[in-house]
Amino acid sequence: MDELVVGTYEGYLLGYSLYTEDGVNKLKQTFATHSHTASVRCISVAGKFLASGGTDDKVIVLDLKTRIEHTILMNHDGTINTVAFTHGGTHLLTGSDDGSIIVTRTGNWQMEKLWKKAHGGQPVTHIAIHPSDKLALSIGGDKTLRTWNLVKGRPAFTINLGSKGIVLPTEIKFSPGGDRFSLISLQNVDVWTISKAGLEKRLTCNSKPSTVQWLTDDKLFVGLENGNLVSLTMSNTQAQTYHLHKQRVKCLHYENDKLYSASSAGELKVWSVSDEKLEEIFHINASCRVTCITLNRQSHLIKKEPEVEGKESEEETLKATEQNSDSEASDVEGPKKVKSLKRKPGAYVTISYEDKDEDKPPSKNPKRKKRNKIPKNKKAVE
């Protein structure tokens, strides 16, 4: 059972789980929090942590097991436009209207890198992390595409998008394999190929594209402002169009042959994807204006109806937790008996520093350090 997590314009984070009862698909709300004091702009999930950024200049980190705030990061001085965990879950990258990109270590939540003027001081619009976790791409108000080396912890190269006829880029996303990425700008969706270091295909839509969701390295969905969805295959010049919502398609997420879509009016829909067909499974209205969605794939973190558990099942859970303690699943807390299990160092991304003052870890600045607010009753994960 997966859990759909939704961010809203009203500042709420909402959770929904899709389940089947008596042969009927149902969507049940699992949690609701109001941690942000203004609109939620972006969300990202890694392990048991969910990070959300908003127009209140805060990054809220939610513990998906306890469903309460784990920590609040207040290192930006402007709206948080983008948050992205590395695929290994070791770091969190955030971009803001203040023009900076910050790399934060997951667990102790200390800044490990600050690119203060990542896009020449202009707002950072969106960040995409490569599946290898070795590099990230960002777009911003300076109309450039910038590549960041996450192994060395420094910028790699810059592409002037204006010279290629691309203005006001709003979203960038990698394909599952990482060799392609999509870039939205005005009426166009451009597909770039990293191995060829250039533009591979341009799709011009009859309505402004709002978001892209890759299904495979060869196929992607494009959500439009008129409520339609365009299905594009790289090996095929013809695109298919589906009617998804009455209002603008605000965000999309694809997982396990299911497409999750949300409209700007708050309508949430779940679709079955197979053989070039979309079949609606369920829909519900969140009664809020949806701004972003993601999926919590760890079903053991989804709150279920209380049930009586015997001693035998508890012992089985303990054994399973011990067996997985050396894997990535060790990020998730097990029963109280195994909370003392020590987590192995699992840093996938290494951030190094040079002698320049700007490249020194910002966490050494006492003024910066005070801005990371961790509730006294919550301990940071080691």
User: Is 317 domain-assigned?
Assistant: no
User: Is 91 domain-assigned?
Assistant: yes
* Size of the chain, expressed as the number of residues it contains: 382
Q: What angle do CA 191, 293, 121 make, to 5 degrees?
A: 60
Give the global pTM: 0.77
- For range 206-215, the mean pLDDT: 95
Task: Say if residues 173 and 190 touch (Cβ distance below 8 Å).
Answer: no
User: Domain span at residue 288?
Assistant: 3-302+349-373
User: Is 35 domain-assigned?
Assistant: yes
Task: Say if residues 248 and 264 touch (Cβ distance below 8 Å).
Answer: yes
Q: Which residues lie closer than 8 Å to 132 by C-beta, 6 or more apart?
A: 178
CATH for 82: 2.130.10.10
For 130-144, give one letter per residue: b (16+ CB within 10 A) or e.
Answer: beebbbbbbbbbbbb
* 151-180 pLDDT tens trace: 999 999 999 998 888 888 999 999 999 999
The band of 277, judged by pLDDT with boundaries at 50, 70 and 90, is confident
Q: Give the pLDDT confidence score for residue 301 in this predicted structure.
A: 55
Spatial separation of the C-alpha atoms in residues 61 and 35, rounded to whole Å: 10
Looking at the DSSP bridge assignments, the partners of residue 172 are 183
Q: Give the pLDDT confidence score for residue 298 in this predicted structure.
A: 66
- For range 228-256, the mean pLDDT: 91
User: Is 381 domain-assigned?
Assistant: no
Task: Say if residues 357 and 73 touch (Cβ distance below 8 Å).
Answer: no
% of the chain residues with pLDDT over 70: 77
Instruction: Identify which of 146, 139, 114, 142 has the alpha carbon closest to the alpha carbon of residue 125.
Output: 139
Q: Which residues lie closer than 8 Å to 68 by C-beta, 6 or more apart?
A: 33, 62
How many C-beta neighbours within 10 Å does residue 64 have? Answer: 23
* 244-273 pLDDT tens trace: 999 999 999 998 889 999 999 999 999 999
- For range 306-312, the mean pLDDT: 41
Q: Which residues lie closer than 8 Å to 92 by C-beta, 6 or more apart?
A: 44, 46, 51, 59, 61, 83, 84, 85, 86, 103, 104, 106
Q: Give the pLDDT confidence score for residue 322 in this predicted structure.
A: 42
Instruction: Identify which of 330, 269, 301 has the alpha carbon closest to the alpha carbon of residue 2.
Output: 301
- For range 57-71, the mean pLDDT: 93
Spatial separation of the C-alpha atoms in residues 3 and 28, rounded to whole Å: 9
- For range 295-306, the mean pLDDT: 60
User: Is 337 domain-assigned?
Assistant: no
The band of 52, judged by pLDDT with boundaries at 50, 70 and 90, is very high
List the single range of 73-87, 235-249, 274-288, 307-321 with lowest mean pLDDT: 307-321
Q: How many domains does the chain have?
A: 1
User: Is 126 domain-assigned?
Assistant: yes
User: Is 321 domain-assigned?
Assistant: no
* 358-378 pLDDT tens trace: 444 444 444 444 444 444 444
* 99-111 pLDDT tens trace: 999 999 999 999 9
Q: Give the pLDDT confidence score for residue 164 in this predicted structure.
A: 84
Arithmetic mean of pLDDT over the chain: 81
